[in-house]
Amino acid sequence: MGKFKGIAVMIVLVMASSAWAQVLMPKTEISGGYTYGSLDQNAAGRMNSNGWNTGATTFVNRWLGVEGNIAGLTNSQSFTDAVSGVSASASDKHYTFVFGPRFTFGQGRVNPFVHTLFGLDRETLSFSGTTPAGTLTASGSDNALASALGGGLEYGLTKHFGLVTGSDYLLTRHGSATQNNFRVQVGMSVRFGQGWSGSKQ
C-alpha cells in the first residue's frame, strides 16, 4: 500500500510541475520581416523608406517579456541628365537598435502586444555625383538616441510558427531637431519552448 502511495505522490508532483511549467516556463521567439518607414525630415517633409527588421523576445512569464529589435530602413534617389552628362545618386540609411519590455495580452492563437523600446538610431548619408569633369563622393554618419513606442498582433499558424505585424512611433533626435517617425512591420515569428496554445502542431 505504501508503495502505491509513493507512486501516487510522484504522479501528482509531476502533474503539478507540468502545470506550473505551462504557466511560468519561459518562452523565446525570434522574428523577422519587412519594414516600411515614414521618416521625418523636419523642414524637408517626410521620406518613404523600405527595409527589414529582426528581433527576439524572451518571456519572463505569460504576459511579460524582454524584447530586442534591430531594423534597417533605406531611401535611395538617383537621376541622370543625358544632355549635360551629369548623374547623381544619394541614399539615407537608418539602423535602429532598441530593447525593452513587451506586454502580451492573450494566450491562444491570437496575441496582441505592446512594447516600449529604447536604444540607438544610426543614420548614414551618402552621395555620389558624376560630371564630364570627374566624380565626387561624400558620406557621413550620426548616432542618436531612439525610442519605439507601439505594438502589434501575433497569430499562431502552428504551435511554433506564426505571423506577426505591428507599428511604432519612432522618436529620434539627429542634429538639433527631433524627428517624429513612424514604421510598420510584417513578418514571421518562430517560438521555442512553449508554443501558441490552440494552434495546430
Residue-wise DSSP of the chain: -HHHHHHHHHHHHHHHHHHHHHHH---EEEEEEEEEEEEE-GGG-EEEEEEEEEEEEEESSSSEEEEEEEEEEEEEEEEEETTTTEEEEEEEEEEEEEEEEEEE--SSSEEEEEEEEEEEEEEEEEEEEEETTEEEEEEEEEEEEEEEEEEEEEEESBSSEEEEEEEEEEEE--TTS-EEEEEEEEEEEEEESS--TTSB-
* CATH number of the structural domain spanning residue 80: 2.40.160.20
In a domain, 171, yes or no: yes
Global pTM?
0.77
Q: What is the pLDDT of residues 131-188, one digit of tens each?
A: 777 788 888 999 999 999 999 999 989 888 999 999 999 999 998 889 999 999 999 9
pLDDT of residue 193 exceeding 80: no
Q: Would you mind telling me the total number of residues written for the chain in this entry?
A: 201
In a domain, 99, yes or no: yes
C-beta separation of 81 from 58 below 8 A: no
Total number of domains constituting the chain: 1
* Residue carrying the nine cell digits 529620434: 172
Q: Please provide the average confidence, as pLDDT, over all residues in the chain.
A: 83
In a domain, 183, yes or no: yes
pLDDT at 24: 40
pLDDT at 176: 84
In a domain, 34, yes or no: yes
In a domain, 12, yes or no: no
In a domain, 4, yes or no: no
**Structural domain harbouring 142:** 26-192
Q: What is the pLDDT of residues 25-50, one digit of tens each?
A: 448 999 999 999 999 988 888 999 99
- Give the Cα separation of 142 and 65 in Å (integer): 30
In a domain, 11, yes or no: no
In a domain, 16, yes or no: no
